[in-house]
Amino acid sequence: MNTLCHKLEETLAVRRQKGRLIDPPSPAKLDGMVDFSSNDSLSLSTSGVLTKAFLNELKMHPNFTVGSTSARSLDGTRQYLLDLERDVAKFHGAETAMFFNSGYDANVAVWSTIPQPGDFIVYDEYVHASIHDGMRRGRANSMPFKHNDCDAFRSCLEKVQTENPDIAKGEQVVFVALESFYSMDGDPAAAVELLEVAHETLPLKNFIFYIDEAHSNGVVGPNGSGFVCHYGLEGHFPIRLQTCGKALGSTGAALLCNETVKFTLLNYARGVIFSTAPSFRRKRLQDHVYRFYRQLTSHPSWPQVKRKGTIYLPTEDTWHVGPFQSPIVPVVPRPDLPVDLGKYLEQEKYWVNTVHYPIVPNKMDRVRIVLHADNTPEQIDHLVELIMEWATKQMGKGRQAVL
């Protein structure tokens, strides 16, 4: 055991030296911090609303089985779970739903099981790691395309057809994997445009679009039903993932699909077979997102900060476009400065996430800010002031170095 621990410590030391060691903060450290970090974007977890609803649900179902008791492939499927899946499917305009213990489990199950040998997966380069893990375990070949780039997507589809005659003949399927809001940049998928390209490039319609709605479920769409429902694209995305661990402030995930896909997963997905079974705030959240962008980009120092390259805001040109915005805001300082900005905000009791390569592209390390429904306007304004105060100090250091 000592030899193993020594090897592991050496591995951790390398990551620590590079400043990429993941060391989760203690609850005591977070106590008193203003939350601009967690995925609890509607503030349901901290508001008490969710706790009250959960306790009321337990009162209405006094015989509810708290434990799982078994895998779904055996006798772990309870009537309550079936009723819940039916209601979730109806809410999102799908044929049926299947619950998983997490969005990660659902993505791995789908991508390791549903695409068949001879099929092909074309995916946005920024999709979740769980999709990558599922594809690695699966039997279909795959190819990425440049993030949200319709021309790159078209080139991928053309190449897949050229190199795979069965796909060109419509005998095999092309799966397309997207996210609704991308978790690091916070930008929305170019879903409508990508669908148009697929229809033009694959005239036999042998394609299936899949979307991971981890960051849009509860935030956009009629009654929070998500990105696809907002655009009325339910018929174009036959497989959708709605997770519960972000805006909904809970755990688990629901896969929206048809009965054939659901039954296939029950029979072939190892994670299913061998695992136990498992509002007004939206308007306020959107107001907060727009407030942050307005305050930052209208700040007197912003033009100079931007010109000097002290901070790059990937979503600067798109935040005011479209009917809604993701609560995820990426703030990208110069490559040597993300940790410094994160620590500066932490000292002021503002908690954000500093994200490093390889989670994000090389030299695109960033401070990832997540706006919440229960953040106050004063907190948002102060956060902007702190960011600009830090950036101004960095420009001053640059001038001193030149002198």
Q: How far apart are CA 247 and CA 45, in angstroms?
A: 9
Helices (H) and strands (E) in the chain — how many of each? 17, 13
Phi then psi dihedrals of residue 310, to 5 deg: -65, -40
Q: How far apart are CA 185 and CA 134, in angstroms?
A: 22
Instruction: Compute the average pLDDT of residues 42-59.
Output: 81
| CATH architecture for segment(s) 72-273 | 3-Layer(aba) Sandwich (3.40)
Instruction: Compute the average pLDDT of residues 58-65.
Output: 76
* Helix residue spans in 185-274 (DSSP H): 191-201, 227-231, 259-268, 270-273
Least confident of 20-24, 85-89, 274-278: 274-278
For residue range 236-271, what is the model confidence (pLDDT) as tens digits?
999 999 998 888 888 889 999 999 999 999 999 988
DSSP 72-86: TTTT---HHHHHHHH
CB 369 within 8 A of CB 386: no
For residue range 322-332, what is the model confidence (pLDDT) as tens digits?
777 889 999 99
| Core vs surface per residue 39-60: b (16+ CB within 10 A) or e | bbbbbbbbbeebeeeeeeeeee
Provide the CB-side half-sphere exposure for 3 (13 A, CA). Answer: 0
Phi then psi dihedrals of residue 245, to 5 deg: -90, 0
Least confident of 59-63, 75-79, 279-283: 279-283
Confidence at residue 194, expressed as pLDDT on a 0 to 100 scale: 98
Helix (H, G, I), strand (E, B) or coil at 244: coil
CB 255 within 8 A of CB 240: yes
Grade residue 398 by pLDDT with cuts at 50, 70 and 90: low
For residue range 170-209, what is the model confidence (pLDDT) as tens digits?
999 999 999 999 988 889 999 999 999 999 999 999 999 9
The three-state (H, E, C) secondary structure of 321-339, written as one string: CCCCCCCEEEEEECCCCHH
CB 230 within 8 A of CB 324: yes
Q: How far apart are CA 157 and CA 161, in angstroms?
A: 6
Cα distances (angstroms) measured from residue 126 to each of 198, 213, 398: 19, 14, 33
For residue range 6-48, what is the model confidence (pLDDT) as tens digits?
999 999 999 998 888 888 889 888 888 999 998 888 888 888 8
Domain ranges of the chain: 24-41+282-402, 72-273
Confidence at residue 96, expressed as pLDDT on a 0 to 100 scale: 97
pLDDT value at 289 more than 60: yes
CATH T-level assignment (fold) for domain 24-41+282-402: Aspartate Aminotransferase, domain 1 (3.90.1150)
pLDDT value at 277 more than 90: no
Provide the CB-side half-sphere exposure for 27 (13 A, CA). Answer: 0
First to last CA, the chain: 55
Grade residue 400 by pLDDT with cuts at 50, 70 and 90: very low
Cα distances (angstroms) measured from residue 56 to each of 60, 331, 373: 6, 40, 23
282/367: higher pLDDT: 367
At residue 175's C-alpha, the angle toward residues 173 and 180, to 5°, is 155
At residue 226's C-alpha, the angle toward residues 243 and 119, to 5°, is 70
Instruction: Compute the average pLDDT of residues 151-174.
Output: 97
Confidence at residue 403, expressed as pLDDT on a 0 to 100 scale: 36
pLDDT value at 76 more than 80: no
Average pLDDT value over all residues in the chain: 90
